[in-house]
Structure 1
Amino acid sequence: MGHTDLVMVCDAGLPIPEGPAVVDLAFRAGVPSFADVLDGLLEELEVEGATAAREVRDVNAAASGLLDRHFSELELVPHEELKSRTHLARLVVRTGEASPYANVLLRCGVPF
């Protein structure tokens, strides 16, 4: 992924628009988890920013905590806005996650 390219890491329920390339990892409910996929991607990608749904704070403590551990500055927007930004992604990685608002839009950086 190049500098400023967007990667959406999403739960099994997020609608994916036509346009971005899709890697659909969803095998069954919960497999693979949002946490496992996000952790793996962050080991491979240089990420300079991230955006998630504001609603994650009130509804999904596990996903909210995971995002806070990974991103010191996390942009929070309404869920509908996050969904609308999905079409801007170069890549969507769909997990098997079956909990609400387990989605994050990653903005790639450069390693130098």
Structure 2
Amino acid sequence: MKKAGILNRHLAGALAELGHGDGVLVCDAGMPIPGGPRVVDLAFRAGVPSFAEVLDGLLAELVVEGAIAATEVRRANPAAATLLDGRFPDLDLVSHERLKELSGGARLVVRTGEASPYANVLLRCGVFF
């Protein structure tokens, strides 16, 4: 049994399959999930687990070379915007509609229990070397 890091076997396995350039959508409970990408649904109850908890857990295990979020997060969810700005100094912003389109090309979707608007980010995997 693993003693540290991500313990969810479905998520840990999905992360091990990612490569350079693959997309990972970390989303709130309300984000429409496109057909195609593998989905690991962690949502348990409203707010559990939170977007921040899941994002930080993923960032501890992934190399991320870029991130995209919805422009609307700045107005509708300042707390999530502050979190994203703190984690990604070069955060790209697109419309929420465009983010939904881009999420269809993700390799993995990780759904959280977050119940606040626009708490979504599309990560682009990098390499450690």
Relative to the length of structure 2, the TM-score reads 0.86
Alignment equivalent of 2:51, drawn from 31, 34, 48:
34
Output aligned runs, 1:2-41, within 5 Å.
2-41=19-58
Give the CA deviation at 1:8. Answer: 0.1
What are the ranges of 5 or more consecutive residues in structure 2 without an aligned counterpart? 1-17
**Higher relative contact order structure (alpha carbons within 8 Å, sequence separation ≥ 6):** 1
Render the CA deviation track for 1:44-99: whole Å, top value 9, x for unaligned.
00000000000000110110000011001000000000011111000000000000
Which consecutive segments of 4 or more residues in structure 1 shift more than 4 A? none
Kindly tell me the number of residue pairs found equivalent between the two proteins.
112
Output aligned runs, 1:68-83, within 5 Å.
68-83=85-100
Bigger Cα Rg: 2
Relative to the length of structure 1, the TM-score reads 0.99
Aligned CA RMSD, in angstroms, stands at 0.4
Give the CA deviation at 1:17. Answer: 1.2
Render the CA deviation track for 1:5-38: whole Å, top value 9, x for unaligned.
0000000000111100000000000000000000
